[in-house]
Amino acid sequence: MDTSKMTVSQLKEWMRQAKRQEVEAVLPFLEQDKRKGIRQLASQWLRQEELNRHKEARWERLIAMEQKLREQGYTAIAGVDEVGRGPLAGPVVAAAVILPAQIRLLELNDSKQLSASLREELAVEIKAQAVAYHVAFVDAEEIDRINVYQASKKAMTLAVQGLCHAPDYVLLDAMTIPLHISQRSIVKGDSRSASIAAASVLAKVERDTWMKQQAVRYPQYGFERNMGYGTKEHWQAIHTYGLTPLHRRSFIDGQLSLEDIMHE
């Protein structure tokens, strides 16, 4: 292939469609090309390949736990995670996800390490490819009644119970649940297990979407920006407008005066 007769745009399009081995075969010629644009194409391709290798290595680490469990005979491994323990308002949300054995989600990571737009893209892909998934909510009133730790455990239990395909093993992020299923609690599980990472993405996207919907009902509190967390803007709104039914009184009592709370 004579790359010297191709324009930058032609080479760029060819490299986009070509197999890795084909590009590697002509790369020495591209790196020595007199045209700056061609040399830049070669450098960009090498940087992208390095990034891809990093993502592939991360994916292999993420999926290793599930692969080991499959080798032990488990076929339906559910990852479970929850979000929303810390906010002043809104529910705790948990997701349970069973991924197929052959899935590859190279962009997947702990949801906190991903941009909002990438989380949303991954959530669509996870839902499309998952063997099963379910998302469960526990509202602010229940959080106040049983405390946020128990609410998190309840949400995770409900997420597993809601799966249309029963799991034979459950991986959870730093939690155990009261179900008679083989399970393992993993500290920082959303960065160590692909299934838990997938669950963390679904839970985060579902909760954020719900809070944005509530922002239409309660526009003064900035829920579409703070997702119920105790930002300065949110605290100022509470002092000005009082509490909504979405607020966790157990998180706020003692930090506001009685007069503030009665203002709702």
Would the annotation count 110 as a binding residue?
A: no
Would the annotation count 82 as a binding residue?
A: yes
Residue 259, pLDDT above cutoff 50: no
Would the annotation count 173 as a binding residue?
A: yes
Query: Which CATH code for domain 74-207?
Result: 3.30.420.10
- Chain position carrying tokens 């297990």: 193
Locate 67 and state its tokens. Answer: 């692969």
Quote the CA–CA distance of 121 and 125 in Å, as a whole number.
Answer: 6
Residue 148, pLDDT above cutoff 70: yes
Residue 254's identity, in one-letter code, is: G
Q: Is 263 exposed, middle or buried (0-12, 13-18, 19+ CB in 10 A)?
A: middle
Q: In the predicted model, what is the mean pLDDT of residues 102-120?
A: 94
- Domain ranges in the chain are 3-61, 74-207, 215-262
Q: In the predicted model, what is the mean pLDDT of residues 114-143?
A: 98
pLDDT of residue 1: 72
Terminal Cα distance for the chain, rounded: 74
Q: Tell me the CB-side half-sphere exposure of residue 248, using CA atoms within 13 A.
A: 25
Estimate the crossing angle of helix 36-71 against helix 8-17, to 10 degrees. 10
- Taking the model in full, what pTM does it have? 0.87
